[in-house]
Copies of this chain bind each other. A is one copy, B any other.
Amino acid sequence: MGPYPHESSTRPAQPFEIAARDGSARTGTLRTAHGDVRTPAFVPLASNASVRGLLPAEVADLGYDMVLGNTFHLFITPGHDYVRALGGLHRFMGWDGPIVTDSGGFQVFSMGHGSVSDEIKGRRDGRRSMVHEISEDGVRFQSYMDGSERFMGPETSMEVQAALGSDIALAFDECTPFHSDRTYTLRSMERTHRWLDRCVAWQREHAPAWQLLYGIVQGGVHEDLRAESTAYVAAADVDGIAIGGSLGQDKDQMREVLGWSLAGLPDAPPRHLLGIGDVDDILHAVAAGIDSFDCATPTRLARHGTALVCDPDRRWRLDLTKAAVAGSAEPIAAGCPCPACAGGFTRGYVHYLARNRELTGSRLLALHNLTFMAELMAGLRAAIAAGDLAAYTARVLAGDAPYRA
């Protein structure tokens, strides 16, 4: 018996079961070795093996089935061997539900392309990694932890994710930034496709038999490249499809690029949209047929004193550090079932905590913001099941859902 006694020995041929549709939208169940994920799903980040400040039981209590671990950060520290020796990522972080791990590509390439990822920018000690060389093999870079030279290529990414023992691995990809030209984006996409084949080959031979693998669609903001990438990934031996890379400079372009990426996809595989979490974007993407999302926004906003609320005019954001909410006896959001709002904590209290950077403030807001997202996704699932998605979407866009304020 291995370190994961309760998983099945092999992945199912068809891990995703669609229960209902409404237009292009789908609701269903994604079956993994560590349990089921109800879709459409929002996946909170547990980048460094924890959802910041929350215990696993709290995350589950908020209504989440799956969390996302960060392959790059866990590779740098504590290292995948460290996590494997402590029983794999599930046991390490005390989360026995499904885990998806990203490919590491976003972080490793965001260094090289000069747009260092927010996760890295956010490091309090200011240390950064630097890319030394990008080649067909992969990427050589300097570790932000100790300055040592490290390497990550498709096999490394797969090896790390196999050691972590995630339920869903993502193929190693180059995340081309918006400012890349067509020539670079094409060359990068073709390399990502070759890397996908190497990922599939390594993962199917060496990873746990139950680990699912998603390929990642790239191609930048070019319709023909997106179509080519979608076709390539769809034809590969993968269990699901993630859509990555630059989705454009604004929401209109993002929707256009998303449409190109989805156009050629087969119906059966589950579809994940990487790094998108704004409410209106989720509404659009669910209607377009996306099944899952991950995004740092809800927890990052919480750390900066901002709550998600039913207020489309302010992009669903309420900055509780502002003087306007000082002394307010209102809850963060009327009607919200989260531990902060249902617990009787006021905007005036959270304002005070956030201004003084008290841990309890970011914790209350993390609980609130993740509740908001969980309620939104539950509402979307119910609406699709009821054939009522357009009406529900209109209610969210009018500020009347996921709960009436």
A residues sitting closer than 8 Å to B (CB atoms) are 48-57, 77-78, 82, 85-87, 91-94, 124, 326-327, 329, 339, 343-346, 348-349, 352-353, 355-364
A358 touches B50 (CB 8 A): yes
Known: A327-B85, A359-B362, A362-B359. A353 touches B53 (CB 8 A): no
A50 touches B353 (CB 8 A): yes
- Partner pick for A343 among B55, B85, B352, CB 8 A cutoff: B55
- Partner pick for A352 among B82, B358, B364, CB 8 A cutoff: B82
Known: A49-B352, A349-B49, A352-B82. A94 touches B344 (CB 8 A): yes
Give bound CA distance, A352 to B89, whole Å: 13
The 4 tightest CB contacts between A and B, nearest first, are: A53-B359, A50-B360, A78-B352, A52-B359
* Chain B hits for A52, CB < 8 A: 358-360
B362 touches A327 (CB 8 A): no
- Partner pick for A53 among B50, B51, B53, CB 8 A cutoff: B53
Known: A50-B358, A355-B77, A360-B54. A93 touches B349 (CB 8 A): yes
* Chain B hits for A349, CB < 8 A: 49, 86, 92-94
Give bound CA distance, A343 to B358, whole Å: 25
Q: Which residue of B lies closest to A357 (CB)?
A: B124
Give bound CA distance, A346 to B92, whole Å: 7
Q: Which residue of B lies closest to A56 (CB)?
A: B343
Q: Which residue of B lies closest to A347 (CB)?
A: B86
A77 touches B352 (CB 8 A): yes
Give bound CA distance, A54 to B363, whole Å: 8
Can you report 19 residue pairs joining A to B where beta carbons are below 8 Å apart?
Answer: A50-B358, A50-B360, A50-B361, A53-B360, A55-B343, A78-B326, A78-B348, A78-B352, A82-B327, A82-B352, A85-B327, A86-B327, A86-B349, A87-B329, A92-B348, A92-B349, A94-B345, A359-B362, A359-B363
* Chain B hits for A358, CB < 8 A: 48-50, 52
A352, A361, A362: most-surrounded residue (chain B CB, <10 A)? A352
Measured CB to CB, the closest approach of chain B to A74, in angstroms, equals 9
Measured CB to CB, the closest approach of chain B to A389, in angstroms, equals 35
Known: A49-B353, A352-B49, A352-B78. A55 touches B346 (CB 8 A): no
Measured CB to CB, the closest approach of chain B to A358, in angstroms, equals 5
Known: A53-B363, A339-B55, A343-B55. A48 touches B356 (CB 8 A): yes
Give bound CA distance, A292 to B54, whole Å: 31
Q: Which residue of B lies closest to A367 (CB)?
A: B55
Give bound CA distance, A86 to B54, whole Å: 27
Give bound CA distance, A104 to B183, whole Å: 67
* Chain B hits for A352, CB < 8 A: 49, 77-78, 82
Q: Which residue of B lies closest to A356 (CB)?
A: B48
Give bound CA distance, A52 to B345, whole Å: 15
Q: Which residue of B lies closest to A76 (CB)?
A: B356
Give bound CA distance, A356 to B359, whole Å: 16
* Chain B hits for A363, CB < 8 A: 53, 55, 359, 363
Further contacts, 4 of them, CB under 8 A, given A57-B343, A92-B349: A50-B361, A77-B355, A82-B348, A124-B357
